[in-house]
Chains A and B, each alone.
Chain A
Amino acid sequence: MDIRKFVQWVNSKTINYPQAIEEYARDTRAVERAMSVVPYLFFFLLFTAFSATAQWFSRPPFSSALFDPRITIFWAGYVSFDTAVHIACGLFLVGSCMGSLFFNRRWARALAFFGLFQYHAFMSSFGAPEHNLLVFVYPLLFCIFLPDIWRKKETTQLERKKFLVGFIGIQVYIGLIYSLAGLSKLVRGTQALVHGTANFLAPDAFALHIANWLPSTGGDSLFGPFIVAHPYVGWPLFLGMLYFQFFTLVAVFRPALHWMWGVFLISFYILNYFTMNIFYVDTFFLIAALFLNSPFEKGFTWRERCGAMPLIGLLFRRTR
């Protein structure tokens, strides 16, 4: 195989990031789509803030026994636990309200970030990290730096470019965390393979995960027992999940894959729930907003989508 041609082919599937921003910034539809996504992040945050507050005042998820305040909420060490709950929920609610009402102003987006940041620190102060809300912390931080172009009748090319770079930053963060999750499975799995212990290539890897996980949480699932009994059904699902997770960061830089990866990432959470009873729903919204509704989606054909898939795309190259 000619290495140079192969590298050219790989590059042709991956956007030349700075150059692509120039092109997308000239596309009014892409810019408006990106602009329309941001307010919905704040609307969803408001919904989350109300749900979280309601939970604290009806069925508190934690009690003071496990409370060990993080450094970022040092103030919680100087007030009673009940007061800390009120302050954390209050900051989250006020911040997300302001963010929803005035998403087109930087100070409001900064306030929304601060409220979430404080509430996330509060929820991370009970002995275990809070992953659900963290997926919003970095995106909201990036939102602060977006230019306030919603309020302008005319925008410059530079403002539009800056906005799209900020938007890509949010997508990159999401892509990065999935790719890290996939990379760790591959590295640890390869180490296990070398040492001859259980690894991700074993046909019953997913069945073993389910059988080991479900009893430890005291939970049950609809399809978990079926996959434990029929490991070969779970094998392709597990390998597919690894593939999609690992290449999510690559997919961020291949617009033809955004929609497909959005579908996968949402399916991944549905599968997780029905097999391992892991309920992790907040991320659904973020995935849908950033990938299913990606501003960089240009109505690609199926051949273009499949051809852009890492490794698998090679098959489509040869059949042309």
Chain B
Amino acid sequence: MSDDAHADRGYRILVASVPVFIVTYFLLAGFQPLFGFGSGAEKYLLYHWYVFTYVPSHEEVTYDAFVIERAGKPIAPVPLTDSDDLLFDEWRNRPYYTERIRRLGDAIVRQSERVESDRAAIEHHVTHGPITYEVREIRYDPIRKFFAGDILSARTVATFETH
């Protein structure tokens, strides 16, 4: 094969690599979670950028954790993420904890095996002494809650004591 033909072949491979990259990235990163296969979680370096795909409804369900006892003494319930009991590095941790608590509540309601691992992930960051906390299911209209802080209903789905 002459040098020119070799170079031309290399160039054609380079040109073809662009559509090949598009299809490969889509199949590896995007296709599975979008169409219900796989875990849906973003794979490291193959992020699918599926953000804000879910439009909240006027009746949302979320979960929050409230500290109700410190060192065996009852206290007025305080959200775990607003308390001094969690190790907060920076504001970036807040969504992390919020999501962890939401996952824990979801696992409790679904009676999933994930409960213990999700619990451990949260309690790993509790810095001060033993606490007792409730996980509550909260139903709310985002717009009403945004302006007036109203919620539709709340119920305790589990109570845990840190080790």
Q: Cβ of B94 and Cβ of A61 under 8 Å apart?
A: no
Q: Cβ of A198 and Cβ of B55 under 8 Å apart?
A: yes
| B37: Cβ under 8 A from any A Cβ | no
Q: Cβ of A66 and Cβ of B94 under 8 Å apart?
A: no
Chain B, interface size category, equals 35 or more
Q: Cβ of A17 and Cβ of B89 under 8 Å apart?
A: no
Interface centre among A66, A124, A166, A187 (most CB of B within 10 A): A66
Q: Cβ of A189 and Cβ of B89 under 8 Å apart?
A: no
Q: Cβ of A161 and Cβ of B11 under 8 Å apart?
A: yes
1/0 per residue B39-76: CB within 8 Å of A? 00010110111111111111010000000000000000
Residues in B with CB closer than 8 Å to A216 are 95, 98
Q: Cβ of B53 and Cβ of A184 under 8 Å apart?
A: yes
CB proximity of A263 to chain B, nearest CB, Å: 21
Interface centre among B45, B47, B94, B142 (most CB of A within 10 A): B142
A139 to B53, CA, bound (A): 26
A180 to B98, CA, bound (A): 26
| A18: Cβ under 8 A from any B Cβ | yes
Q: Cβ of A184 and Cβ of B147 under 8 Å apart?
A: no
CB proximity of A110 to chain B, nearest CB, Å: 17
Q: Cβ of A228 and Cβ of B143 under 8 Å apart?
A: yes
Partner of B142 from the list A173, A187, A208 (CB cut-off 8 Å) is A208
| A129: Cβ under 8 A from any B Cβ | yes
| A299: Cβ under 8 A from any B Cβ | no
Q: Cβ of A197 and Cβ of B57 under 8 Å apart?
A: yes
Q: Please, which residue of chain B has its CB at the minimum distance from the CB of A214? A: B146
Residues in B with CB closer than 8 Å to A112 are none
1/0 per residue B89-113: CB within 8 Å of A? 1111111101000000000000000
CB proximity of B161 to chain A, nearest CB, Å: 21
| B1: Cβ under 8 A from any A Cβ | no
Q: Cβ of B15 and Cβ of A134 under 8 Å apart?
A: no
Knowing A17-B15, A187-B34, the reply to whether A211 touches B90 (Cβ < 8 A) is no
Q: Cβ of B18 and Cβ of A168 under 8 Å apart?
A: yes
| B78: Cβ under 8 A from any A Cβ | no
Say which one of A3-11, A90-98, A199-207 lies at the interface with B.
A199-207
| B154: Cβ under 8 A from any A Cβ | no
A91 to B107, CA, bound (A): 40
Q: Please, which residue of chain A has its CB at the minimum distance from the CB of B43? A: A129
Overall SS of chain A's interface: helix
1/0 per residue B143-158: CB within 8 Å of A? 1011100000000000
Q: Cβ of B145 and Cβ of A61 under 8 Å apart?
A: no
Residues in B with CB closer than 8 Å to A180 are 26, 29-30, 48-50
CB proximity of A177 to chain B, nearest CB, Å: 5
Q: Cβ of B18 and Cβ of A218 under 8 Å apart?
A: no
| B125: Cβ under 8 A from any A Cβ | yes
CB proximity of B116 to chain A, nearest CB, Å: 18
| A301: Cβ under 8 A from any B Cβ | no
Residues in B with CB closer than 8 Å to A166 are 14
Partner of B7 from the list A158, A217, A218 (CB cut-off 8 Å) is A158
Q: Cβ of B147 and Cβ of A228 under 8 Å apart?
A: yes
Q: Cβ of A184 and Cβ of B30 under 8 Å apart?
A: yes
Docked complex: A162-206 residues within 8 A CB-CB of B: 162, 165-166, 168-169, 172-173, 176-178, 180-181, 183-185, 187-189, 192, 197-200, 202, 204-205
| A1: Cβ under 8 A from any B Cβ | no
A209 to B145, CA, bound (A): 13
Residues in A with CB closer than 8 Å to B159 are none
Q: Cβ of A124 and Cβ of B44 under 8 Å apart?
A: yes
A229 to B144, CA, bound (A): 10
Residues in A with CB closer than 8 Å to B147 are 225, 228-229
Binding site for B on A (CB under 8 A): 17-18, 21, 59-63, 65-66, 70, 72, 121, 124, 127-129, 131, 134, 137, 158, 161-162, 165-166, 168-169, 172-173, 176-178, 180-181, 183-185, 187-189, 192, 197-200, 202, 204-205, 207-218, 225, 228-229, 249
Additional A-B contact list (12), CB under 8 Å, known A165-B14, A212-B56: A59-B90, A62-B93, A66-B89, A165-B15, A168-B18, A169-B18, A172-B22, A180-B30, A183-B34, A184-B49, A210-B146, A216-B98
A-B contacts, 7 of them at CB < 8 A, read A66-B96, A180-B29, A185-B53, A192-B55, A198-B58, A208-B143, A209-B52
| Nearest 10 CB-CB pairings of A with B | A211-B146, A184-B50, A211-B142, A198-B57, A188-B53, A212-B142, A212-B56, A181-B49, A208-B56, A198-B55
